[in-house]
Structure 1
Amino acid sequence: MRFISWNIDSLNAALTSDSARAVLSRGVIDTIIDLDPTVVAIQETKLSANGPTKKHIEVLNEKFPDYEIAWNSSKEPARKSYAGTMFLYKNHLVPEIHFPEIGAPSTMDAEGRMITLEFEKFYVTQVYTPNSGNNLVRLEERQIWDEKYAEYLTTLDKEKIVLATGDFNVAHKEIDLAHPDRNRRSAGFTDEERHGFTQLLSKGFTDTFRHVHGEVTGMYSWWNQRVKTSKTNNSGWRIDYWLVSDRGADKVMASEMVDSGVRQDHTPILLDIDLD
């Protein structure tokens, strides 16, 4: 089975805008379609509390005619049109769909950050992990989130193999970003966030990219779009992951970044796994 995950940074813009960036985003969507995934996980949809509009649904149905849609959007008391997640999955599948609340602090549980698809033999769950923010204003809350999220995945893992994906907003090791020396206290590379991710893995989960590629360097999933040369210079971070329950690691066949061309920000990540 093939799974793809992508932080799209505004589904509305990607589907309806005529900007140069939107055109690049639609090119990435076409690349995803050509890869024919069984399931597509999308983060940072930035849709309203009512979810995709009629126009969004029309475009998605045109581009993904053989897929069903599940979405989770930010709702009050959280910010409007903020965060948000979506699954597209082949329409011959009939998963049970869950919208977890993990007892996270502040408005995090209302920000549409998680969706879980439950299949007969496994779970696929996606997350858009809260960013610690400028000056690390949300770091303390982020640490609580990391603990609660790890508890949630552990609960799922007791029942079935878990595939967990998304934008985890952390570069785990120094080899997961181009300039670790410059980013010691940057959001996404603090000791606290890295420790939280280490603790998550220690509960029985495998980083599939490292499982396949070992200690390879220079392979990233995000480049800062505010820095024009970040991608051409490959000054990136690996903050998007496919995790799998340890007992399913030997079933992984591929874990890769998908080429998104010149478009900066996140690139999609792909997982091929034999779950039969």
Structure 2
Amino acid sequence: MKFISWNVNGIRACVKKGFLDYFHEEEADFFCLQETKLQAGQIELDLKGYHQYWNYAEKKGYSGTAIFTKKEPLAVTYGLGEEIEDLEGRVITLEYEEFHLITMYTPNAKRDLTRLGYRMLWEEAARRYISQLEESKPVILCGDLNVAHQPNDVRNDRANIGNAGFTDQERGKFNRLLDAGYLDSFRYFYPDHDDAFTWWSYMAKVRERNIGWRIDYFIVSKQLEEKIKDAGIDSHIYGSDHCPVKLELEI
């Protein structure tokens, strides 16, 4: 099975920049999006053979997630259940016989860290939610998790210590999730790569010079370790300030 996750930074804009070409070329079994930035009825995508699930933010043109899947799920859940109120359309969970699939757009702590407190509440609620799902079957979590976990996940790590996405608090929560029984699928295959990024600033020449951050992930339950076949980053795909990330499982 092929899984793809992409923060499209506005699906309507991304469609104008080649999204559908990439979508049809890849023919993934699951295509997960973050930051769709639209409301119901603002776009119609003719994706033959796919079921579409959308979670919209109450605020117009903000946040939002979606999953397009070839296989109809047993159940669909929006948000983190009762763990924390989600008015920003940040989470969709699909349940299948073999696993739970979650697409997640984790809140940004903001440049001045004014939202770091909320981010910490979110992290705790998300970890509890994932742990509850894990009690019934393995979990695959993907999305823009807004954290660079290790120094080799950001180009200028020393200069960014303490900045949003690279604070001790955010990285510590990521550690707790992995310690609870999960694998960072990309690092599972490529532990030492120091030039593999998924997000770049729109500032001039930043992406061309590959001054980026790896903040988009596929996090996989250790129960599925033997089924993980590959993980990758399609950094050559434009259309957003993020690029798609991939996972292949033998299920």
Q: TM-score, normalised by structure 2?
A: 0.95
Q: Is 1:67 aligned with 2:50?
A: yes
Match of 1:228 in 2: 204
Matched, 1:95 2:95: no
- 2:3 aligned with 1:12, yes or no? no
- Residue 153 of structure 1: how far off its partner (Å): 0.7
Tell me, in whole angstroms, the C-alpha distance in 2 between the residues paired with 1:69 and 1:127: 16
Aligned: 1:47 with 2:30: no
Judge conservation of contact 2:102–2:142 (CA < 8 Å) in 1: yes
CA RMSD of aligned residues (A): 1.6
Which among 61, 71, 75 is matched to residue 81 of structure 1? 61
Percent identity over the alignment is 33
Aligned length: 251
1:229 Cα offset (Å): 1.1
* One-letter identity of the residue aligned with 2:55: N
Measured in 2, the distance between the counterparts of 1:239 and 1:42 equals 14
Residues 83, 129 of structure 2: 8 Å contact kept: no
SS at 1:265's partner residue?
coil
The aligned residue for residue 22 of structure 2 is 31
Instruction: Name the CA distance, whole Å, in 1 between partners of 2:95 and 2:103.
Output: 12
Distance 1:218 1:252 in 2: 22
Match of 1:176 in 2: 153
Q: Is the 8 A contact 2:80 2:129 kept in 1?
A: no
Q: CA deviation at 1:103?
A: 5.1
- Considering Cα pairs closer than 8 Å and 6+ residues apart, tell me whether 1 or 2 has the greater RCO: 2
**Alignment gaps of 5+ in structure 1:** 16-21
Are 2:36 and 2:66, in contact at CA under 8 Å, matched by a contact in 1?
yes
Question: Is the Cα–Cα contact under 8 Å of residues 102 and 148 in structure 1 kept in the other structure?
Answer: no
- C-alpha distance in 2 between matches for 1:238 and 1:213: 13
**Which residue of the other structure, out of 248, 251, 256, is the alignment partner of 2:227?**
251
Query: Residues 103 and 109 of structure 1 are in contact (CA less than 8 Å); yes or no, is this contact kept in structure 2?
Result: no
Q: Quick one: structure 1 residues 263 and 69, their matched pair in 2 at CA, closer, same or farther if it must change by over 3 Å?
A: closer
Q: Residue type matched to 1:98 in 2?
A: T
CA contact (8 A) 2:9 2:240 kept: no
Q: Which is helix-richer, 1 or 2?
A: 1
Matched, 1:148 2:125: yes
User: Following the alignment from structure 1 to structure 2, what is the Cα–Cα distance between the partners of residues 129 and 195?
Assistant: 15
Q: Which amino acid aligns with 1:150?
A: R
